[in-house]
């Protein structure tokens, strides 16, 4: 994989030019993307800024994010050939930092559940996960050092887990959503994929203009970590649980205190209403597509929106109250714990007729708290764990993830 921090170090040291760094991505895409289908389109002659803290870094942009210089297809024929007038706020920000938005990456249609035409770089017949399929696969295949995804259920953490890369779904609205196709405004969260925890920590801290996010950890003493199986969400596969236990032991070896954590009500209730909030908002966000082009929507999304038409506004209001209660309660939980260590996904990447299951991601998306997924090394298709911290403590989640990553690799 291409490491963002490694590339920046080499550019800084003068052993790699900015053009050379971008060229590596271009060559890797040309060589490897054919069978993968991670890239929708890319800029053949990108402008390469000569300054800025991310200059020389090629970035993959999930294809529901507006770009003025490249088409934005939303993974749907309804947007065939569509070219937005403006860059999304995050794309303009990347350019201002010197980064090169080199390629649009494959997304499921409108970031829904119907699979994108992207293969898992670790095994062709398996899904890379969704909906940020191309961004996760492109980083995993060493084509890009940084890629953008969005998560409404589990669309950043799940593909990161399935593809064996790191990712962060930051605190809600830490990164700007302007110019990104909406699925659910209360849930949609912009996130980053990278090779290692240091890469996404550095990328996020620069993009969000918050230096405190990128710290190696240890400045707050040994963390107290709640180990959480999310029983209310159902069972995980045995090897996913085993990976979680290995990550917990790694954290303990690194000095953390691990305590079993069973989340009380109202978290099960909040988890259960995620879909209702999402779907009431999706039926509004995609109302034009549904009214004008229902026949062009893919199967799962089309049926999801069919069902959503019957949902009641009063139930949506109740669901939001349930979510607010859980958010307040979660503050108490994070009074006792610095971080929660939990499952990133049900197990390894399933076959590619699905994008996998977001059951272990939904609660955290609804809570708006930062989540970091990191691979747990082992045989076979990738497995991963997820570190969750309190709202606004993205740096804390990354520090704990970095500690576990270092110990697992040692």
Catalytic residue positions?
62, 131, 155
Give the nearer residue to a second copy in terms of CB position, either 124 or 185.
185
How many Cα atoms are found within 13 Å in the side-chain-facing hemisphere of 172? 17
Interface residue with a second copy among 33, 63, 87, 357 (CB under 8 A) is 87
Residues 105-164 that bind a second copy (CB under 8 A): none
Torsion of CA 186, 192, 193, 199, to 10 degrees: -150
Give the nearer residue to a second copy in terms of CB position, either 253 or 328.
328
| Contact call for residues 156 and 132 (beta carbons, < 8 A) | yes
- Alpha-carbon distance of 348 to 320, in angstroms, equals 32
Q: 47's torsion region: left (phi>0), alpha (psi -120 to 50) or beta?
A: beta
Enumerate the β-bridge partners of residue 104: 41, 61
Using CB under 8 A as the binding rule, whether residue 313 contacts a second copy is answered as: yes
Other Cβ atoms closer than 10 A to 85: 7
State the nearest-atom distance from the C-beta of 284 to a second copy, in Å. 4
Using CB under 8 A as the binding rule, whether residue 82 contacts a second copy is answered as: yes
Residue whose pair of structure tokens reads 């017949």 in the numeric block: 125
Interface residue with a second copy among 288, 310, 335, 353 (CB under 8 A) is 288
- Strands 189-194 and 100-105, sheet pairing: unpaired
Alpha helix stretches (DSSP H) within 337-393: 362-367
- Alpha-carbon distance of 291 to 196, in angstroms, equals 43
Using CB under 8 A as the binding rule, whether residue 214 contacts a second copy is answered as: no
Of 89-97, 146-154, 249-257, 380-388, which part binds a second copy (CB under 8 A)? Answer: 89-97
Count of residues of this chain found to bind a second copy when the rule CB under 8 A is applied: 35
Both tokens of residue 44?
Answer: 């053949």
Interface residue with a second copy among 85, 219, 295, 332 (CB under 8 A) is 85
State the binding string over 362-401 for a second copy (x if CB under 8 A, else -).
------------------------------x---------
Of 34-42, 279-287, 336-344, 398-406, which part binds a second copy (CB under 8 A)? Answer: 279-287
Using CB under 8 A as the binding rule, whether residue 70 contacts a second copy is answered as: no
Using CB under 8 A as the binding rule, whether residue 291 contacts a second copy is answered as: yes
Of 28-36, 78-86, 144-152, 219-227, which part binds a second copy (CB under 8 A)? Answer: 78-86
CA angle 283, 288, 290 (to 5 degrees): 60
- Alpha-carbon distance of 55 to 53, in angstroms, equals 6
Interface residue with a second copy among 95, 126, 158, 202 (CB under 8 A) is 95
Interface residue with a second copy among 91, 102, 201, 254 (CB under 8 A) is 91
| Helix, strand or coil, per DSSP, at residue 190 | strand
Interface residue with a second copy among 41, 89, 245, 258 (CB under 8 A) is 89
Interface residue with a second copy among 33, 199, 289, 393 (CB under 8 A) is 289
Give the nearer residue to a second copy in terms of CB position, either 224 or 324.
324
Give the nearer residue to a second copy in terms of CB position, either 49 or 378.
49
Both tokens of residue 316?
Answer: 């949506």
State the nearest-atom distance from the C-beta of 97 to a second copy, in Å. 11
Rounded to the nearest 5 percent, the helix, strand and coil shares of the chain are 45, 15, 40
- Alpha-carbon distance of 339 to 157, in angstroms, equals 16
State the nearest-atom distance from the C-beta of 285 to a second copy, in Å. 5
| Contact call for residues 353 and 304 (beta carbons, < 8 A) | no
Other Cβ atoms closer than 10 A to 388: 28
Using CB under 8 A as the binding rule, whether residue 334 contacts a second copy is answered as: no
Of 52-60, 85-93, 148-156, 338-346, which part binds a second copy (CB under 8 A)? Answer: 85-93
What are the Cα distances from residue 302, in Å, to 262, 289, 294, 340, 389?
A: 36, 10, 7, 35, 35
Of 29-37, 46-54, 121-129, 204-212, which part binds a second copy (CB under 8 A)? Answer: 204-212
Of 41-49, 120-128, 171-179, 195-203, which part binds a second copy (CB under 8 A)? Answer: 171-179
Residue whose pair of structure tokens reads 């990104």 in the numeric block: 180
| Helix, strand or coil, per DSSP, at residue 286 | coil
Using CB under 8 A as the binding rule, whether residue 79 contacts a second copy is answered as: yes
Interface residue with a second copy among 54, 256, 285, 333 (CB under 8 A) is 285
Interface contacts to a second copy, rule CB under 8 A: 68, 78-79, 82, 85-89, 91-93, 95-96, 173, 176-179, 182, 185, 208-210, 281, 284-285, 287-289, 291-292, 313, 317, 392
């Amino acid at each position: 994989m291409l490491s963002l921090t490694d590339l920046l170090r080499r550019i800084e040291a003068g052993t790699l030019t900015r053009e050379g760094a971008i060229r590596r991505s271009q060559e890797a895409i040309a060589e490897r993307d054919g069978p993968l289908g991670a890239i929708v389109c890319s800029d053949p002659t990108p402008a390469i800024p000569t300054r800025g803290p991310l200059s020389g870094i090629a970035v993959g942009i999930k294809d529901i994010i507006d770009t003025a210089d490249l088409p934005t297809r939303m993974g749907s024929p309804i947007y065939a050939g569509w070219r937005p007038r403006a860059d999304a706020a995050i794309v303009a920000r990347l350019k201002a930092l010197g980064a090169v938005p080199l390629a649009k990456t494959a997304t499921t249609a409108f970031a829904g559940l119907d699979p994108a035409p992207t293969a898992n770089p670790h095994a062709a017949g398996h899904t890379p996960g969704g909906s940020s399929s191309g961004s996760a696969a492109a980083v995993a295949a060493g084509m890009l050092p940084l890629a953008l995804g969005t998560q409404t259920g589990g669309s950043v953490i799940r593909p990161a887990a399935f593809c064996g890369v790191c990712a962060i779904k930051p605190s809600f609205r830490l990164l700007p959503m302007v110019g990104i196709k909406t699925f659910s405004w209360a849930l949609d969260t912009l996130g980053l994929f990278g090779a290692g925890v240091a890469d996404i920590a550095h990328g996020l801290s620069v993009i969000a203009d918050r230096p405190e996010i990128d710290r190696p950890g240890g400045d707050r003493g040994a963390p107290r970590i709640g180990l959480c199986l999310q029983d209310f969400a159902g069972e995980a596969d045995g090897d996913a649980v085993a990976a979680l236990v290995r990550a917990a032991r790694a954290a303990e070896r690194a000095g953390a205190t691990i305590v079993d954590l069973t989340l009380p009500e109202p978290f099960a209730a909040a988890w259960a209403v995620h879909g209702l909030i999402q779907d009431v908002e999706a039926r509004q966000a995609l109302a034009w597509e549904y009214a004008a082009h229902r026949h062009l929507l893919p199967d799962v999304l089309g049926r999801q929106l069919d069902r959503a038409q019957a949902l009641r506004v009063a139930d949506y209001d109740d669901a939001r109250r349930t979510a607010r209660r859980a958010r307040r309660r979660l503050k108490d939980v994070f009074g006792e714990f610095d971080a929660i260590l939990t499952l990133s996904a049900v197990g390894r990447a399933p076959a590619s007729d699905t994008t996998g299951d977001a059951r272990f991601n939904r609660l955290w998306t609804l809570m708006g708290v930062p989540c970091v997924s990191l691979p747990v090394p082992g045989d076979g298709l990738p497995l991963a764990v997820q570190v969750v911290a309190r709202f606004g403590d993205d740096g804390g989640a990354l520090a704990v993830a970095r500690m576990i990553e270092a110990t697992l690799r040692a």
